[in-house]
A and B are shown apart, each in its own frame.
Chain A
């Protein structure tokens, strides 16, 4: 029985984790490599490194950090942020990334998904979509959620999968940061539309939110979150134990 994955996401700018982390006994941590090791030891099933740098110098620092993390942490690593070309795929895959997540880059150039899937395989291409409700329908947002593209989210996701995306990350702008639970309504629509793995993101505030997610929507494969892990509000070990108690398959 395949297990449900728990995925912490690290935002990296100029080689440091954006939100400093304060864990008991660990002190303030802003080294992505140390944090990756910490999460891996705690039982994270996968890690996402999100590059929010804009400068070329920052990009170089990011790939250096990725190489170092990949030489110390032996779980799947996904990289997102600033992926616009096949060259960007190449740059991060050479540093040990297993999957590459595209978002705005695919909106600007939808052919990127197919080209990357042909060259690296679908298992490597993750389509990440920022979605919010506008007048009752789900719309795709670009530029970190600032710009409404007008695209219908479910149609965009279906098209992405047809073009070769191997996984979908669904980021709900409506629930993000609210810590009131995942966007189950949106996720249910996505799960009905595609047969590739679906990763839920945005809204996790407690262990109970993950339990509700996996119990309500068996089609969701993984839960992704950042701040609840970074600020120690949820310990991954506790979360996994709770999942196991509730009969949700989890890697212990």
Chain B
């Protein structure tokens, strides 16, 4: 069973529908017991980093997620959910993240040599450049397009990057550190390519339990 973490940030309807479409039944939950019982966990998120960390920690879910990740359970952060996996973010002040992957989340325009003609947020379909083999991307080809919506990106995390997208420079698109995965893009809005990424995640650990 896949657990989608519900901490009052963002809309989980499409994510649950996309999992159900590929035959993975998911529960939306804020219960530590359910998260503990789940095979895999997805941490979604839309909105501001600081607000999200506050909501996660006020329910004690931050500790639960760290425990489950440390126990080896596959965890996937999506969009803001991916950014939360890192040490810290500079969005509206400095905020501490879950620290499951080293790196910091910074504004796109702080990228060295930022092309000022590009728009922020980075919205739209952008091809993936796969930089490292990962079980998350086993059904994805180099150049497959996925859907991004974001203004901040994860930096100083080179060794855990598994895919990038070109937007002025190389933007962190997907990361993996052991059993912890993240995508800056929205697989649940990325058409057939996105569904294949979700399917690959569901197969990690349990081995095709969905």
Contact = CB atoms under 8 A, between A and B. Distances in A.
B46 interface: yes
A251 interface: yes
Interface residues of A, number: 32
Given A96-B17, A195-B119, A2 B167 contact: yes
A75 B186 CA distance: 9
B145 A251 contact: yes
Given A45-B125, A121-B46, A95 B147 contact: no
B92 interface: no
Contacts, number: 83
A128 B192 CA distance: 29
Contacts of A123: 46, 121, 123, 149
Given A3-B125, A5-B124, A221-B119, A76 B189 contact: yes
A1 B14 contact: no
B145 A166 contact: no
B166 interface: yes
Interface string B4-22: 0000000101100110110
Interface in A135-168: 166-167
B147 A75 contact: yes
Contact of B14 (A3, A70, A122): A70
Interface size bracket, B side: 20 to 34
B190 interface: yes
Question: By CB atoms of chain B within 10 A, which of A67, A95, A123 has the most?
Answer: A123
Contacts of A76: 147, 189
A121 B47 contact: yes
Contacts of A222: 124
A195 B123 CA distance: 12
Contacts of B20: 71
B88 interface: no
A120 B10 CA distance: 8
Question: By CB atoms of chain B within 10 A, which of A5, A72, A74, A121 has the most?
Answer: A74
Contacts of A122: 121
B3 to A, nearest CB: 20
Describe A's contact surface by its main secondary structure.
loop
A122 B126 CA distance: 20
Contacts of A1: 126-127, 166
Contacts of B123: 123, 166-167, 197, 221
B194 A5 contact: no
B149 A74 contact: no
A30 interface: no
A71 to B, nearest CB: 4
A252 B167 CA distance: 19
A74 B14 contact: yes
17 contacts: A1-B126, A2-B125, A67-B13, A70-B17, A72-B17, A74-B17, A74-B21, A93-B11, A94-B13, A96-B11, A98-B14, A121-B48, A123-B46, A166-B123, A197-B119, A221-B124, A252-B145
Closest 8 interchain pairs by CB? A71-B17, A251-B145, A251-B125, A123-B149, A3-B125, A96-B13, A2-B124, A2-B126
Interface of A: 1-3, 5, 40, 45, 67, 70-72, 74-76, 93-96, 98, 120-124, 166-167, 195-197, 221-222, 251-252
Given A2-B125, A40-B191, A94-B11, 17 more contacts: A1-B127, A2-B124, A70-B14, A72-B21, A74-B17, A74-B18, A74-B194, A75-B147, A76-B189, A94-B13, A95-B13, A98-B14, A120-B47, A123-B46, A123-B123, A166-B121, A221-B119
